[in-house]
Structure formats: C-alpha cells, structure tokens
A = this chain, B = another copy of it.
Amino acid sequence: MFSLSEENYLKAIFHLERSYPTGVSTNALAEEMSTKASSVTDMIKRLSEKKLVAYKKYQGVKLSKFGRETAVEVIRKHRLWEVFLVDKLGFAWDEVHEVAEQLEHIKSDKLIKELDRFLDFPKRDPHGDPIPDSKGNFVTSNKVLLAELKKGESGICIGVKDSSPEFLQYLDKNNIALGQLIVILEKESFDQSMLINLNGKELKISNVISSNLYIKTS
C-alpha cells in the first residue's frame, strides 16, 4: 500500500506524461503539486526505490508499468466517486472534485468493485472523462474541441477542458450538459463565435467557450 502523498504524485505524473512524453520534469511536477522542487526530488527518490517510477538525475521521471497501474487505479476510484456524488447524492459537477480527492485514497478492493456495480459500470465521470475499468482499460473515443468543428457538423458533448466552477456553472446556466447533441448552425469566421443548436434551442457561444468543450464525433 502507498501513502496518500505517493498516490497523489503518481496521479500527477500520469497526467503530466501526456505533455512530457520523454519524462516529467521536476519543476513541472512541483508546479502541479504546489510544492517545491526539492520536495519533488525527495519524493521521486522514494517512488524510484519502490519501483513505481524510472528516474535518472536531471532526466525527469517516467512511470513504470507498476506505477502506471497504481495511478490508473487511483484515477478509476476518483472518477467512480465523482459519479456517485453527482448521480446518487445530487452534487453539482463543480462540487465533486475536492471530496473525490479524499475518497480516491480509501483502500478496499471490494468497495470499488461494489461501487462500480452500484453505479452500473459507468464509462465516464461527470466531466466526461473516461473511467478505467477494473483492468485499467480506458474507453478512447475521437474527442475534439467544439472549436475545431465546422458549420453543419455535430457531435455529443462528452467533456470539458476547463473544469473550473465558473465554467461549469456557465454551462449549467445555458443548459449545456454531458451527453447532449450539439449542431453548429453558424460559425463566424472573424471571431470564431458559433450559433449552435441544443435540443432545439439556439445559443450563441464565443470561442472561449467552444475551446473548452470536448465533443465526440462519428
């Protein structure tokens, strides 16, 4: 079993590996964890001793197979708890993160197995992010930003890039929700603003909005 801190570092490295495929830099990790580079170095050494990461001085870190499995398991727990909070306890999607950050560290295989069943094996969390299954497999779909679509194209809203409460509340206010079909009626070439169709209602959105909404096409 790993400590809360170790699990949080693994998760952070996992997320940063997308941007740093050759190795996550100490500074990037320090930024992500809101801590000092020296603390990161200390922790990386511990993770390295436990075979969770591959580490060479001044070269950044990469997760080992074991480290990646552990990180994915924590992410799975985080996202399942988010579904629980929204679907069962009525939390809004901008209220779940902080609590899920705590719940994701609860250690019980049976708990997660039964929670998954209780929630009916959800594939995505309330923000549209995929939930790894018990073997660590993610669903991967052709996810694009709404901003990348052209006039006449359409797709299902599956997630957000910016998950700040402000943005999520903006979406709620305008009845933009996950799973919703969005059709682009007009696209202004000057400022990239769009006129979209949402369940029959029309809505004008700016490029700031469309650049933060993920859409599943096909």
Residues on A close to B: CB < 8 A?
85, 88-91, 95, 98-99, 102-103, 106-108, 110-111, 114-115, 118
Chain B nearest CB from A90 CB (Å) reads: 6
Chain B positions within 8 Å of A90 at CB level: 114
- Whether A89 lies near B108 (C-beta < 8 A) is no
Chain B positions within 8 Å of A98 at CB level: 108
Chain B positions within 8 Å of A114 at CB level: 89-91
- Whether B91 lies near A102 (C-beta < 8 A) is no
How long is the Cα–Cα vector from A103 to B111 in the complex, in angstroms?
11
- Whether A106 lies near B110 (C-beta < 8 A) is no
Question: Which of B88, B111, B115 has a CB less than 8 Å from the CB of A118?
Answer: B88
Pairs across A and B, CB under 8 Å, 10 listed: A89-B114, A89-B118, A90-B114, A95-B110, A98-B108, A99-B108, A99-B110, A102-B106, A102-B107, A103-B106
